[in-house]
Amino acid sequence: MIWSDVLLEPIDPAAVLDRVGDPRDGAVVLFLGIVRNANEGRPVSGMEYDGYIEMAREQLAAIAGEAAERAGSDRVAVAHRLGALDIGEVSVAIAASTPHRAEAFDAARHVIEEIKKRLPVWKREHYLDREAAWLDGRLPAAAASR
């Protein structure tokens, strides 16, 4: 199945993985995005994810559909989390399964790269010195300018 969701609760990677897989498939890829403890050398205490949740759900469904089409597989699942996350928590989980490995890696890679290009989600990094900052991101392609 092609499945996607944007969640406010913790992601269970095993549950995302369970949504893919088929007797035809010899390859399963699971990618996890994790909150790490430093950014550009500065110690980080946690990450706060903000999102335009309704649009993010639609965009994530579209991204999963594109990845499935590229892979020639309808076994792609992705969950993205919003809210306050601690170091080590899963912010995104992507699973894809295909008969052979190249397509599964490609599908998972496509999903994470497109998330970074166009999912309307923002993160505010909290540092050990108690400061916080919105991270610089990427301007989606269809940017308004005048």
Partner 1 sequence: MEVTVLLFAAHRELAGSGSTVVSLPEGATAGALLETLRGRGGGWTQLPARSAVAVNRRYATADTVLREGDEVALIPPVAGG
Q: Is 82 or 104 the residue whose CB approaches partner 1 more closely? A: 82
C-alpha distances (whole Å) from 88 to each of 33, 34, 91, 92, 116 are 9, 6, 9, 12, 19
Contact footprint for partner 1 (CB under 8 A): 33, 49-52, 54-56, 58, 80, 91-92, 112, 115-124, 134-146
Alpha-carbon span 146 to 143, nearest angstrom: 10
Q: Smallest gap, in angstroms, from Cβ of residue 22 to partner 1?
A: 27
Q: Is 3 or 52 the residue whose CB approaches partner 1 more closely? A: 52
Q: Smallest gap, in angstroms, from Cβ of residue 140 to partner 1?
A: 5
Q: Smallest gap, in angstroms, from Cβ of residue 16 to partner 1?
A: 15
Q: Is 27 or 61 the residue whose CB approaches partner 1 more closely? A: 61
Q: Is 100 or 139 the residue whose CB approaches partner 1 more closely? A: 139
Q: Smallest gap, in angstroms, from Cβ of residue 82 to partner 1?
A: 9
Name the 3-class secondary structure at 109: helix
